[in-house]
A and B are shown apart, each in its own frame.
Chain A
Amino acid sequence: MNTVTTINLAGTAFQVEDPGYQALKKYLDDARASLAGNPDETEILGDIERAIADKCRGYVSAHKNVITTSEAETIVKEMGPVTSDGEPAKDASPASGTPKRLYRVVEGEWIAGVANGIAVYFDVDVMLVRILFILLLALTGGGFVFAYILGWIFIPVAETSRQKAAASGEPFNAQEIVDRVRAEYARVETKYGPDLKRWKRDLKQQHADHLRYKHKEHMRRIHARRRGPSALGELIGIVVFSFFAWYGYHHFPAFHDFLDAAWNLFNRIVDTITNAIANQ
């Protein structure tokens, strides 16, 4: 005696033994994964569900109103895996679950991690973004500072692991990883069919590869605390920055005044402090 689950297939209720229900659920989940990005995804899934319902109807009668596990497995085998019809997936890179979010990335920041965060979001090198910022600074005669400060205020810092994962668009929670693994599994299943030896061999190899990968990931996480540029990168950055600062200072009066005022303020602060110390 087994327990059953009642399911709704295209508007008709069927009672399926629980392992059979799991098989049907997996089939439909794999189908949905294959059809991700297909413009007719919903319609095809509806067709598939209707076809399964038709097959289920063939297994029930006045004297038997349950679909057994083996009948459900037969249905899945008859349906065959849902093939995407060769259309390229709409969005290849991030898993459909995790949206990419703009965060300030504090590891390896120069000032507030604004450039760093933008670089991670667009997946470009951080120095490129910094050079762009300096260009914008020169072009706007110093006005870009306000934009940067706005970014500093309004873009949140990526602190938790979940936020850091969202900053670079990687899948974070267990469900997303499971979905990815499921899609891989579906691909593997169609590749091997009944060839057990080859599957076992490949599985062992994949396990070894996976262990090596996990070790590398572990070491990478230990080493990758700082997401900073190399020493040469820093040097080039300082040279370029100084050039643009010098150029901006001599060619843009607004920037000139801004830097003078900043230098002035700095001097006044220093004087105030030295006076305070001298007058102790």
Chain B
Amino acid sequence: MEPAERFSGIRKGLLEFLTLKVINAKPAYAADILAAFSGTSFATQEGTLYPLLSKLRRDQLVDYEWQESEAGPPRKYYRLTAKGKKELASVEAYWKDIIKEVADLGS
């Protein structure tokens, strides 16, 4: 099995965390989030991202506002909530611990 295949579950599991990270760096449209992921191992599609953003909003980690644009209809502009920022910080701390454990195990 290719390493990429082995890690597909892990990549899928990390997507929520990474979406929060991307939105935290800069509030964004869905298209911007997809652009941020494209070219990386986490490249994803609208069919996956929209349900995920919806779940994050249901969990009150992100919120959106409608933004008008000259070249078309209004679009949703996502940003993190305070709860989302806290959650991101705690997940990032956990992530750093896990990376360290992975590095230490078996060495």
Contact = CB atoms under 8 A, between A and B. Distances in A.
B73 A12 contact: yes
Main secondary structure of the interface of B (DSSP, over half): helix
B51 interface: yes
Interface residues of A, number: 26
Given A51-B30, A78-B45, A35 B51 contact: yes
B54 A44 contact: yes
A84 interface: yes
Interface in B86-105: none
B44 interface: yes
A24 to B, nearest CB: 13
A276 to B, nearest CB: 77
B50 A47 contact: yes
A50 B51 contact: no
A43 interface: yes
Interface residues of B, number: 19
Contacts, number: 60
B47 interface: yes
Interface string A94-129: 000000000000000000000000000000000000
A156 interface: no
Contact of A40 (B30, B58, B73, B76): B58
Nearest to B12: A83
B35 interface: no
Chain A CB count within 10 A is highest, among B30, B45, B50, B52, for B50
B102 to A, nearest CB: 24
9 contacts: A12-B73, A40-B54, A40-B57, A44-B54, A48-B47, A54-B72, A83-B47, A83-B51, A87-B55
Given A40-B57, A44-B54, 4 more contacts: A39-B58, A78-B45, A84-B51, A85-B51
